Structure 1
């Protein structure tokens, strides 16, 4: 094999195989290479490379010593074998003979059959061992498959696919519940946290103040501080208006291409926080939908209020006096 894979090919190839094997075993789910995440891997790689070079040096020295000890006839035989094509090398021939169970021409007399058709004779060759082995594997597989899916009612490929799709959909829906950049208008929640409102204000001042003024009093766009809303108040409606844009032809563009859903949620929270403020030179109210942020507090209070306990049933003894009256 040395003539097909010289030392300058063998050493890098074996080292690369070892390197990728170590990466696959040690790295796991880490984003960093194993030799950076675990410096001890560098020592292991260095030792392996040292061992490779040492083995090659010992093998080369041993080969030279053996060459000097050979007789001229043995040296000639070795050179003859070295000049043979790959398929003609002795070890390849031995391997193919084991895989195919072929007979030499001298051995054909032992497997010659009595059939003779116009001088054409037939050999009783054995089936190739690789073919027989493969046949046995298919038989074993067929028995296991039969028991697994037709006796013990295992899931078919279609059933497995449907289960995996259901599980995948559940994982996607679960991810959507907490993924900040996959929020929808129905999932958006108002926040009065100063950090959220500050982030929303920064985005509003940069992108929305030109039409609504920095204080929300309204310029080209409507006043955002009163209780009149053109497309509806509340977190869902404000989020949807920012994301999808306002009325066609009125200049309010869909901002979903510029902002992530989590950013739109912050802007919507800031816009709602402007409700009820009194800006200077506020624009006249527009819109027929009446809504104020006080409704958020009312809704929250309703959710937090425990259910009223049912009044205890009145007994016959308690109603008896009234019946007597």
Structure 2
């Protein structure tokens, strides 16, 4: 039972350390000053109590010297030690009465009673176990380890979601990347149908706006170029900026969907506009010649 009691301390201690650290981080300078003052006051109280106990012990010793009748009586410390620490031990002359019959290699064991402090700890552990059981298993007030674990998982999931939303909110024309996830493409398709199809046609073949299915682009055909056009618009040609109506994530989704229209066959494709876009593909070093690498031929 004592082992079970001690095993609960690390869990309780870990939670207490986390809450204590979080509390300190949230304190301002005035609160920290107040906490420091309280700590100093408590330390002074402990020191004063220690000095008072020392003076009391010194005073009792002086009184015992002046009054021989009190000298034979045990001191308060001896009474406390006998009642709560060691118990009333039998004199050496009476140890034969509590000797066990069996000896171990000539060593005789005494049938001593349990020290009072250990008995009190045992009783406290029983009381703690009852309170613990009623609190967690009967009344359900406290959280079990599994409930705490599930709560921590839920908190971690919310923090992860918040980090993801923060990262999505930070997407701009310099950091945007093409996303090929089914959910993102479907969301981009819905955004395109609701906002872009009126000028570019549902199949991307173009109308008032240019054809989005061919290889020719007026402002560049990279994901960053498309995102920038969607975000800032082309006001002189009638395309409004969408940064006030769409989130960065939504602009990424619709830009990615537009790239999926490349190579498709619209019903009424508009003539190409702009320049042919060729993606920049880095050629591996082993495919380059010595002249391109700037190497001198070996003699």
Same fold (TM over 0.5): no
Tell which has more relative contact order, 1 or 2 (C-alpha 8 A, sep 6+).
Answer: 2
Output the TM-score relative to the length of structure 1.
0.37
User: What TM-score do you get using the length of structure 2 for normalisation?
Assistant: 0.40
